[in-house]
Structure 1
Amino acid sequence: MKTCLAPDANPVKPKHLLPEGSWDAHCHVFGPAAEFPFAADRSYTPPDAPFETLRTLHDHLGLSRGVIVQASCHGTDNRAMLDAIARSEGRYRGVAIVDGSETDQQLAEMDAGGVRGVRFNFVAHLGGAPDLEVFDSTVDRLADFGWHVVLHLDAQDILTYADRLTRIPVPFIIDHMGRVKAQEGIEQPSFEALQQLMENPLAWVKVCGAERVSVGRRPFHDAVPFAERLIQIAPERVLWGTDWPHPNITKDMPNDGELVDLMCDFCTDPQLRQKLLVDNPMKLYGR
């Protein structure tokens, strides 16, 4: 089992002032493990990354709101995420991981607790695709709650599951620009498929995870053309987040202040930045 590196404890102050009401639409809380143990079958162990540290980071970066995305190291035990939302006084919303056994009442309780979607991991290093029957049956239940589904895919999965993606009946979000690889260029088949997918009015994408797309080292400028293209294609359905505390980073730990400035580099138009950081996340998470 891999032990993850800690995030950069000294984020720089961003050079840019963000729009009022800006969201970090993809971040995590981990533990504290003494209170919220990690899943026994996890593929990695992160350092504790509690609510208090996340809140302090967001204050430093100028981010008003946040979406706490349940990560695989906690499995379907969503208590750490729900606890953080409850303590945030309305500042945070959440995306849960479920196993399909949840009752309508349990999902309704999650909704009351600030959950607005569920996440499925397909990536190989986290165990590969989920049970697709559970996936299909769960997705079919989300509309009743006004929820969406978040898909953490490897780049090839965009092609492998293309037909299934077109059948999703609720809004769905592709994490981290589909984890395409910058070294394979803007015309790689997976990125072309992602661009085609964004013609679907239910498809959203997060233009974050530059450190996962990049072949280089921080500040990961080789990821910029991919983010720019996705914003151009679907300006009303793009989101951005820090991905703090950056689990499973092995090559170069990002600095979260630099990530804010990188986002400002690939989204220079103030009107588009307003959509990316404020208007778009409000559509999915504002209630």
Structure 2
Amino acid sequence: MKFEKTPGWLDWYSGPTKPRFKLPAGAIDAHCHVFGPGEEFPYAPERKYTPCDASKHQLYALRDHLGFSRNVVVQATCHGSDNRAMVDALVNSNGKARGIATIKRSISDAELQELHDSGVRGVRFNFVKRLVDFTPKDELMEIAARIAPLGWHIVIYFEAVDLPELWDFFTALPTTVVVDHMGRPDVTKPVDGPEFQLFVKLMREYPNIWSKVTCPERLSVNGKPALNGEQNAYQDVVPFAKHLVEQFPDRVIWGTDWPHPNLKNHMPDDGLLVDWIPHIATTAEAQKKLLVDNPMRLYWPEEVK
């Protein structure tokens, strides 16, 4: 089946630089996606966008180029609750990938077990209205209760302005909860301002809540960075991510977000994204926790001594 890419959608950058920052041994890209390819894994009829294809082979080639050892593949909204592309990436990873699925309440226990056996370790709840249609909270809570016995966690994606109305739901979830992209803070506002500090309060008061300190290319308002050598990109996002890494060193993880869904202003160089890491995790100890220890506890706990 042929799919026409959404107008304005940028293809992922095919010539990433080799990072200057040397990743610690065993580093994990804990947030990335696969798209299709559409002819093999059709995009969902209810999708809000049609992406470029981004295959498992291309993802794992990027993993090796950047120096990561493993990946966590997050179900993309363009595939809806059809997890086949993501699962295919997991089962063809030689044990080097785990996954986050999107599921509906109609899923059977046998289907949940099949996802677990393939390497899925969590589900994603998306509250970004421009990307998905609203799912009733009672359905999401039912799903949360069903995955808890599997040891899975919940990934939540929302925007900072919506946190007050979502607070009670998030704090009632019965599992570990991982927030995508720091809750998408407005980086033109101060780190110590009320909006971002509400998110900090959420993490401080609820020790089951973690954060991905990810997507500076999505949050920055500094404009398009130069490719191939620009080492100071996305500096306006650094104070937010650095604050979380320092305040909650055992509950932060990082990932590329490749192939960078729905970006329209510029497509980042993934090598430069890796070089952004030491700006937010400034010591070898913090870098190892962020990139190795923390994601291993979440996704490969059976290997953690």
Q: TM-score, normalised by structure 2?
A: 0.92
Higher mean C-alpha deviation, range 159-168 or range 80-89:
159-168
What corresponds to 2:228 in structure 1?
A: none
User: Retained in 2: the 8 A contact 1:182–1:215?
Assistant: yes
How far apart, in 1, do the equivalents of 2:88 and 2:67 lie? 23
1:170 maps to 2:169: no
Output the amino acid matched with 1:39.
A
1:39 maps to 2:44: yes
User: Retained in 1: the 8 A contact 2:180–2:211?
Assistant: yes
What corresponds to 1:266 in structure 2?
A: 280
Q: List aligned pairs for 1:155-234, cutoff 5 A.
A: 155-199=160-204, 200-217=206-223, 218=225, 219-234=233-248
1:148 maps to 2:162: no
Runs of 4+ in 1 over 4 A off after TM superposition: none
1:282 maps to 2:296: yes
How far apart, in 2, do the equivalents of 1:161 and 1:274 lie? 32
What SS does structure 1 have at the residue aligned with 2:160? coil
User: Retained in 1: the 8 A contact 2:127–2:156?
Assistant: yes
Q: Deviation per CA, 1:50-83: give whole Å up to 9, x if none.
A: 0010011010100000000001100000000100
User: Retained in 2: the 8 A contact 1:121–1:151?
Assistant: yes
Q: Deviation per CA, 1:246-280: give whole Å up to 9, x if none.
A: 01112221110000001122111100100000000
Output the amino acid matched with 2:213.
V
Q: Deviation per CA, 1:74-125: give whole Å up to 9, x if none.
A: 0000000100111111010000001111111110110000000000110021
Higher mean C-alpha deviation, range 125-134 or range 145-154:
125-134
From 3, 6, 13, the counterpart of 1:2: 6
How far apart, in 2, do the equivalents of 1:190 and 1:151 lie? 18
How far apart, in 2, do the equivalents of 1:26 and 1:183 lie? 24
User: Retained in 2: the 8 A contact 1:228–1:266?
Assistant: yes
User: Retained in 2: the 8 A contact 1:124–1:154?
Assistant: no
Q: CA deviation at 1:237?
A: 0.5
User: Retained in 2: the 8 A contact 1:100–1:134?
Assistant: yes
How far apart, in 1, do the equivalents of 2:85 and 2:141 lie? 26
| Ranges in structure 1 where 5+ consecutive residues have no aligned partner | none
How far apart, in 2, do the equivalents of 1:281 and 1:191 lie? 24
Q: CA deviation at 1:189?
A: 2.9
How far apart, in 1, do the equivalents of 2:256 and 2:282 lie? 18
What corresponds to 1:60 in structure 2?
A: 65
User: Retained in 2: the 8 A contact 1:198–1:233?
Assistant: no
How far apart, in 1, do the equivalents of 2:148 and 2:72 lie? 19
Q: Deviation per CA, 1:125-174: give whole Å up to 9, x if none.
A: 11354221111111111211000000011111222111111111100010
How far apart, in 2, do the equivalents of 1:211 and 1:155 lie? 17
Output the amino acid matched with 1:267.
A
User: Retained in 2: the 8 A contact 1:176–1:205?
Assistant: yes
Higher mean C-alpha deviation, range 212-221 or range 8-17:
212-221
Q: Percent identity at matched positions?
A: 46
What corresponds to 2:253 in structure 1?
A: 239
Q: CA deviation at 1:185?
A: 2.3
Q: CA deviation at 1:34?
A: 0.2
How far apart, in 2, do the equivalents of 1:201 and 1:97 lie? 24
How far apart, in 2, do the equivalents of 1:265 and 1:134 lie? 40
Output the amino acid matched with 1:214.
S
User: Retained in 2: the 8 A contact 1:181–1:215?
Assistant: no
How far apart, in 2, do the equivalents of 1:68 and 1:127 lie? 19
User: Retained in 2: the 8 A contact 1:85–1:113?
Assistant: yes
Aligned residues: 287
